[in-house]
């Protein structure tokens, strides 16, 4: 989904798939604090043959961030209270994270929200310098495990997601200054 801002003043029009969405108010700060973060350390078990964090570890990090954030939104602490299922998960790798690296992972809901689904965005930065290591995205559906069907987002969860959500167009595009690691033949 690509949202492109147009307009001036206090009204901004975001175009999405031939369906304009008018938002009133100030353009959001491009980098306000994200609502949930957690530190991770690159452990030996997660390092691949190239000596950096294996790609699969980021999906595990996203899962941890997602569950912690969502349970906090619901005011719950048990994983039995998770009523969501993943529809899609994507990760873009921006720079290698070597063994021993400390990474901060952050999560934020993306606007707009659906009736039964929402999108979470993730970013991972090296500590302390802030080099961006990866960005991710998951599309999540509220799900009733007893009936095996999707369900509407609970009003309190929807309010929390709306409060925290950001308009982040082209989030998965390559970060300025980031480079893909070069692979050389032996």
Q: Rounded to whole angstroms, how far apart are CA atoms 21 and 12? A: 9
Band of pLDDT at residue 166, cut at 50, 70 and 90 = confident
Band of pLDDT at residue 173, cut at 50, 70 and 90 = low
pLDDT value, residue 23: 36
pLDDT in tens, 85-110: 999 999 999 999 999 999 999 999 99
Candidates 92, 123, 94, 99; CA nearest to 110 is 123
Across residues 112-117, what is the average pLDDT? 95
Structure tokens at 5: 């801002």
pLDDT value, residue 149: 97
Residue 183, pLDDT > 70, answer no
Show the domains of the chain with their CATH numbers: 1-30 (no CATH), 32-164 (3.10.129.10)
pLDDT value, residue 2: 37
Q: Which of 24-28, 119-123, 161-165 has the lowest mean pLDDT?
A: 24-28
pLDDT value, residue 33: 81
Across residues 160-184, what is the average pLDDT? 67
Average pLDDT, the chain: 81
Residue 176, pLDDT > 60, answer no
Residue 179, pLDDT > 70, answer no
Contact (Cβ atoms closer than 8 angstroms) between residue 167 and residue 153: no
pLDDT in tens, 49-86: 999 999 999 999 999 999 999 999 999 999 999 999 99
Q: Rounded to whole angstroms, how far apart are CA atoms 2 and 27? A: 16
pLDDT in tens, 126-156: 999 999 999 999 999 999 999 999 999 999 9
Q: What is the largest CA-CA distance in the chain?
A: 57
Q: Is the peptide bond before 128 cis (omega within 30 degrees of 0)?
A: yes
pLDDT value, residue 37: 96
Please tell me whether residue 61 adopts helix, strand or coil conformation. helix
């Amino acid at each position: 989904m690509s949202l492109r801002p147009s307009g001036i003043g206090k009204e901004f029009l975001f175009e999405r798939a031939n369906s304009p969405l008018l938002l009133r108010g100030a353009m959001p700060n491009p980098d306000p604090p994200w609502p949930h973060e957690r530190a991770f350390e690159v452990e030996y078990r997660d390092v691949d043959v190239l000596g950096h964090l294996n790609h699969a570890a980021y999906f595990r990090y996203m899962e941890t961030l997602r569950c912690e954030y969502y349970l906090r939104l619901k005011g719950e602490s048990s994983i039995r209270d998770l009523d969501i299922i993943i529809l899609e998960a994507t990760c873009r790798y921006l720079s290698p994270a070597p063994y021993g690296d400390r990474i901060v992972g952050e999560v934020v809901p993306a606007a707009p929200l659906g009736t039964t689904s929402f999108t979470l965005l993730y970013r991972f930065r090296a500590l302390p310098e802030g080099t961006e290591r990866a960005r991710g995205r998951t599309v999540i559906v509220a799900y009733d495990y007893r009936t095996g069907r999707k369900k509407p987002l609970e009003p309190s969860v929807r309010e929390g997601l709306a409060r925290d959500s950001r308009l982040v167009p082209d989030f998965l595009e390559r970060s300025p200054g980031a480079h893909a690691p070069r692979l050389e033949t032996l």
